[in-house]
Homo-oligomer: A and B are copies of this chain.
Amino acid sequence: VCYDGSSFAGWAAQEDERTVQGTLEDALGRLTGKRTIVCAASRTDSGVHAMGQVVNFKTASTIPVKKVPRALQALLPDDIVIVRAAEGSPAFDARRQAKKKLYSYMIVRSDVVTPAIRRTSWILSGDLDVAAMRRAAKEMTGKHDFTSFTVTDKRRKLGDPFRRIYSIRLKLGSLKEFYGGLAGGLGGRALKIDFSGDGFLYKMVRSIVGTLVDVGRGRISPDDIGRIFGARRRSSAGRTAPSRGLTLIKVYY
């Protein structure tokens, strides 16, 4: 499932809020005639986008699985797209069985951007020391206790705080490279940060991005990263980057 998160209060169904889960479950209920619960690989936050979200649901419906994407799409708004559907084993769980996830975060270095860019990026002016950001990203790669890079609350308690990040890659490019015609021929550059990991805690990617930006601005040194991990306090790391720049790219099983 692919969605533009701009007009959703995130994945997870909440009363009186427009959510991706709620919207999908409504459409599936109408399609199958039965209330249908959907489970997603990643419960993306309000404003976060997805290119390759994976969801599963159980149904007794006899609609051929090949026809589900088109039939479901007809009942969905334009900001959710069903890319593919397949029948899985009854034990398949999109969330628990995910082995690897890719996320991408877009930082745009331009005063003036088009609406399509604004919707999907963090717009930042001022200098960024990308070399220092790359050094800090290297320090974050590997298996770590990411308590300093997540937020807990009543609904979200911290379970196992260890995650393994396989890679964090920073790619500089032109707006045209990243957005094609939707860059509207405007000049300006962007920094794309690609994450690959075995899983990510709540707000973890955005906390890492915010911290990397603080490194890029010289507020945090790449040498501080070890100390930040050790502190196991959210306040020891940098700010949280805005959700609009974040996209769930792909989930591997």
A binding-site residues for B, Cβ under 8 Å: 2-4, 6, 51-52, 69-70, 78-84, 104, 106, 111-116, 118-120, 176-186, 192, 249-250
Contact = CB atoms under 8 A, between A and B. Distances in A.
Nearest to A70: B111
B181 A181 contact: no
A218 B170 CA distance: 48
**Which 8 pairs between the two chains have the least Cβ-Cβ distance?**
A51-B184, A4-B115, A180-B180, A179-B180, A79-B115, A178-B180, A83-B112, A178-B181
Dominant SS among interface residues on chain A: mixed
A78 B120 contact: no
B181 A115 contact: no
Contacts of A114: 2, 4, 51, 81
Contacts of A113: 81
A81 B181 contact: no
A79 B180 CA distance: 18
A79 B119 CA distance: 9
A68 to B, nearest CB: 13
